[in-house]
Amino acid sequence: MPIFRLSDRVSFPPPHFAAHNGLLAIGGDLSETRLLLAYRMGIFPWFSPDDPILWWSPDPRLVLYPEEINISRRLRRTISKGDFQVTSDTVFDQVIAQCAQVRLENGEETWLIDEMISAYTRLHEMGYAHSIETWHNGELAGGLYGVSLGGVFFGESMFTRISNASKIALIALCEYLRDRLFDLVDCQVATSHLKRLGAREIPRKLFLKQLEDSMNRPTARGRWAVHLKWS
């Protein structure tokens, strides 16, 4: 499959034209309009600091249905102790910065360069991007952020400073989404960590069909109020 080069016009080729590795297009920008269109079409940006902007639509797609979140007995006991608290949209800037910082501290590359951080911060200010924060003894211990459109939460990144902190953020998010009848969390590509929590791979064709249906629902913009029910 060819890799499409984007122009200044805000548009994307159909995602089923993506290469075998999921790469669909190159170029364009990270404007709010282009990012929101990308997510609505099942496309997301992901690129290294020295690369041009790359746009992806992998097949298969890793998704987590909120009602299928897997909570181990040990994690249930940890939550029931009440040592962790969960909030949302209170320190978005810190969450996205920590998602990048933890990767660098672990000797890993990060796609969360300044340009990406600025783009998602703008989406947060517009009410589309949200952060879920886990606190321990008053300190930010972990969290995640992503984009909400229609009935889908597009998970972007997560981090943890204390064991289980990011898992607890994801559990609280799934409780919140399940109560509001969201359809799924888009986890993009497979990781063993997310699979253990209940995520599973589905064909891109099925993902795009579910995405199309979900985009017919209204988007819950603005600040969210996510809490951990068991704390």
Give yes or no: residues 46 and 69 share one domain. no
Confidence band for 18, pLDDT divided at 50, 70 and 90: very high
Number of compact structural domains in the chain: 2
Residue 39 forms part of a structural domain: yes
Q: Summarize the confidence of residues 140-152 as an average pLDDT.
A: 98
The pLDDT of residue 1 is 66
Percentage of residues in the chain with pLDDT exceeding 90? Answer: 92
Give yes or no: residues 110 and 208 share one domain. yes
Residue span of the structural domain in which 43 resides: 4-58
DSSP symbol at 17:
G
Confidence band for 2, pLDDT divided at 50, 70 and 90: confident
Q: Give the domain CATH number at 39.
A: 3.30.70.3550
Residue that finishes a domain, picked among 37, 58, 79: 58
Give yes or no: residues 54 and 66 share one domain. no
Give yes or no: residues 70 and 162 share one domain. yes
DSSP symbol at 108:
-
Give yes or no: residues 51 and 36 share one domain. yes
Give yes or no: residues 149 and 202 share one domain. yes
The pLDDT of residue 109 is 76
The pLDDT of residue 49 is 87
Give yes or no: residues 78 and 181 share one domain. yes
- pLDDT tens column, 159-206: 999 999 999 999 999 999 999 999 999 999 999 999 999 999 999 999
- Please give the model's pTM, rounded to 2 decimal places: 0.96
Contacts 24+ apart (CB under 8 A), 11-15: 11/37, 12/37, 12/38, 12/41, 12/43, 12/55, 14/41, 15/41, 15/42, 15/43, 15/57, 15/204, 15/208
In 77-121, DSSP assigns E strands to: 84-88
The pLDDT of residue 231 is 52
Q: Is the pLDDT of residue 230 over 70?
A: no
Distance CA 86, CA 83 (A): 10
Give yes or no: residues 69 and 144 share one domain. yes
Percentage of residues in the chain with pLDDT exceeding 70? Answer: 99
